[in-house]
């Protein structure tokens, strides 16, 4: 029996073009095959801290590096060298690296047991459905499993708190699978899934996730082909969620009815924590404006960006 979100997905028309793709910057890692020589070369390669964004420094935890290398070999991809040199840095920037689904799987195997990384940027990597499913598992299992492996660090683990998956072709069943991982996650506070193809089925799944999730504070769903139907489903989550402070749904064809539905959902939630609702680039009418104005009496701290 299909859940409500699969039903939405089934009824949607074949989604047209893939979501807009950011400026792909394919790296050397994404182009050459994985060989034994690659392994030794990466072990001796010197990588500057700037190669992986702010906060990256030092040599990686040997156990983690070994796990990642083995996972790359199993998935037939070349390791991202800066991850091997990640050490105990809390931020990992992997923008525009052409990871693809297999690269995401290899990365996911490490993230599920990493005690250090709190902020992960995977913008523009062509992860697609398979990559989304792999990362959904990360969200569900975002904690340490082996204390034998990492010792006292288990007690200090607080999980991944920020994740950027914008521009990654996440849509359809992959988007639904990812959203389901979000339901059970107890660490993630900031999520950027903008410029994907979540559509109405993905918005429905996110709405279901928001009903259960009690941690997420910021959600960016800009430009995801969400129509009025998807906006109303998303609103069902907003009607009960008590932690989300920032919601960006700009550049989606939700129209006035979808916008009104979202506002009414927030209005009906006396425990709503929403502080910013970004609906810019969405056409509104007088009804929308009147309802938005009346919201200020109920939620004086809410800013609505048109």
Tell me if 274 is assigned to some domain: yes
What is the structure's pLDDT at 44? 39
Per-residue pLDDT reduced to its tens digit, 138-179: 777 654 333 733 333 333 345 788 989 999 998 888 889 889
Structure confidence at residue 81 (pLDDT): 87
Is 157 within a domain?
A: yes
What is the number of structural domains in the chain? 1
Weakest-pLDDT range from 65-79, 145-159, 290-304: 145-159
| Cα distance between residue 13 and residue 286, in whole Å | 31
Q: Is the pLDDT of residue 289 over 70?
A: yes
How confident is the model over 42-60, as pLDDT tens digits? 433 433 333 454 433 333 4
20 part of a folded domain: no
**pLDDT computed for residue 7 by the predictor:** 63
Comparing 280 with 39, which gets the higher pLDDT? 280
Please report whether residue 4 resides in a domain. no
**What percentage of the chain's residues is helix, strand, coil (to nearest 5)?**
45, 10, 45
Average per-residue pLDDT for the chain: 78
Among 21-25, 65-69, 254-258, the range of highest mean pLDDT: 254-258
**Cβ neighbours of residue 171 closer than 8 Å, sequence gap 6 or more:** 15, 18, 19, 129, 196, 197, 198, 199, 202
Q: Give the CA distances from residue 135 to residues 94, 126, 288, 292, in Å, rounded to whole numbers and listed in that order.
A: 14, 13, 37, 36
The whole-angstrom separation of Cα 278 and Cα 247 is: 6
pLDDT value at residue 153: 35
Q: What is the pLDDT of residue 229?
A: 97
pLDDT tens figures, 86-138: 778 888 899 999 999 999 888 887 787 677 788 889 999 998 888 888 888 77
- Structure-block tokens of residue 131: 């990559």
Domain that holds residue 71: 36-305
Q: pLDDT grade, residue 219 (50/70/90)? A: very high
Which domain CATH number covers 127? Answer: 3.80.10.10
Instruction: Give the three-class secondary structure for 148.
Output: helix
The answer to whether residue 67 sits within a structural domain is yes
Region 190-208 average pLDDT: 96
Residue 59 covered by a domain:
yes
What percentage of the chain has pLDDT greater than the value 70?
A: 75
| Residue 21 falls inside a structural domain | no
pLDDT in tens, 225-236: 999 999 999 999
**Domain-embedded: residue 7:** no
Q: What is the pLDDT of residue 90?
A: 86
Task: Give the pLDDT band of residue 244 (cuts 50, 70, 90).
Answer: very high
């Amino acid at each position: 029996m299909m859940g409500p979100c699969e039903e939405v997905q089934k009824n949607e028309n074949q989604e047209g073009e893939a979501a807009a793709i950011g400026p792909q910057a394919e790296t050397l890692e994404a182009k050459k095959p994985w060989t034994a020589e690659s392994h030794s070369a990466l072990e001796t390669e010197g990588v500057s801290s700037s190669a992986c964004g702010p906060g990256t420094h030092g040599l990686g935890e040997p156990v983690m590096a070994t796990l990642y290398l083995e996972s790359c070999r199993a998935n037939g991809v070349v390791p991202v060298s800066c991850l091997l040199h990640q050490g105990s840095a809390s931020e990992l920037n992997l923008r525009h690296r052409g990871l693809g689904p297999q690269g995401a799987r290899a990365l996911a195997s490490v993230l599920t047991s990493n005690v250090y990384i709190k902020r992960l940027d995977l913008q523009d990597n062509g992860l697609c459905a398979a990559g989304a499913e792999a990362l959904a598992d990360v969200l569900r299992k975002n904690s340490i499993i082996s204390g034998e492996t990492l010792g006292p660090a288990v007690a200090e683990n607080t999980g991944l708190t920020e994740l950027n998956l914008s521009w990654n072709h996440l849509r359809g069943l992959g988007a639904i699978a990812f959203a389901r991982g979000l339901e059970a996650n107890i660490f993630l506070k900031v999520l950027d899934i903008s410029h994907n193809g979540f559509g109405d089925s993905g918005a429905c799944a996110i709405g279901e996730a928001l009903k259960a999730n009690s941690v997420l504070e910021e959600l960016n769903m800009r430009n995801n082909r969400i129509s009025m139907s998807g906006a109303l489903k998303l609103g069902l989550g907003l009607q009960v969620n008590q932690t989300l402070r920032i919601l960006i749904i700009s550049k989606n064809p939700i129209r006035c009815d979808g916008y009104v539905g979202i506002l009414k959902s927030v209005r009906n939630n006396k425990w709503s924590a929403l502080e910013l609702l970004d609906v810019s680039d969405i056409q509104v009418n007088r009804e929308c404006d009147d309802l938005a104005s009346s919201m200020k009496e109920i939620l004086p701290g809410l800013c609505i960006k048109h």
